[in-house]
Amino acid sequence: MSQTISPLLHPDELVKLQHNPDVVLIDARAGANAEENYKKQHLKGARYVNLNQDLATVADDPANGGRHPLPSFKKFTAVLSNLGISPTSHVIVYDDKNGSNAAARFWWMLRAIGHEKIQVLNGGLQAALQIDYPISSGTENFEVTAPYPISEWKLAQATIDEVEIARNSSKSIVIDVRDKNRFDGLTEPLDLIAGHIPGAINIPFSENLDQNGFYKTHEVLAEKYKPFFNNHKPENSIVHCGSGVTACHTLLALDYAGIPIPKLYVGSWSEWSRNDRELFTIDTK
């Protein structure tokens, strides 16, 4: 899928759009106190979206779909309606982790239902505050919209069985975007087992950012990623992380670099490591 606007928006550009009635600003911070922090302070006009409640259907057993499986179309339709988002909305989303929390995940989900006018705020909340973007507290008043028409996910996803095939294929690459210590099995703060999918390569999502927390330029990202796809078509490639959230950070970086968006393995390591699949751990070195 092609996109007519950049997937990233600089804070200075947000300033110019702040009074545009078509703009819907979304705060996608995640974590235990995210909603409380939103109510204490957020960018003026921003509406809050909850990763666990709105952008996933968290199941009791992560072995079935991982820690953040996608919601049903019915649920996501209701989420978008309750946020006041329609097919004509210009959605701009931010978090406080340079897009690696839920901002990029929300971007991917909207792109995946065919919504074109969706951008992630480059540099996130911190960058907007640094230029004195107006802030607010409490909640925002806005009108809900009619149910958003959703019929299919239009961006490709990979199942656990497809990952099994791809990791053993010379025509595919499986990219793990978690940090190197997690990939190497030295630490695992969220899942039961530390390690990675054998055959996967590690390109930490943090390498998409410069020293100031902004995405690197599309030229730099293209130079970084295009060699990986010289012999592997993006559509045959799979990107994953721990639970299908930060993987979207790299999918956005690839889109920004002009590379077709690969498949997202939503279940990621949280599903793979719970399903009696082959694992690379410290013990298997």
In order of their start, the domains of the chain are 8-136 (3.40.250.10), 160-284 (3.40.250.10)
The residues assigned a catalytic role are 241
* pLDDT of the residue at 101: 81
Which segments of the chain have a pLDDT < 50?
A: 1-2
25: β partners:
92
H helix intervals, 18-157: 34-40, 51-54, 73-82, 103-112, 124-130
* pLDDT of the residue at 277: 97
Instruction: For residue 151, count CB atoms less than 10 angstroms from its CB and return exposed for 0-12, middle for 13-18, buried for 19 or more.
Output: exposed
Identity of residue 1 = M
Distance CA 99, CA 106 (A): 10
Distance CA 140, CA 125 (A): 17
Identity of residue 154 = K
Distance CA 14, CA 125 (A): 12
* pLDDT of the residue at 285: 55
- C-beta of residue 273 within 8 angstroms of C-beta of residue 186: no
How distant, in Å, are the alpha carbons of 23, 30, 46, 97, 278 from that of 19?
Answer: 8, 26, 12, 25, 53
* pLDDT of the residue at 265: 98
Q: E strands within the chain?
A: 8-9, 23-27, 42-43, 47-48, 90-94, 118-121, 135-136, 174-176, 201-202, 238-240, 263-264
* pLDDT of the residue at 1: 44
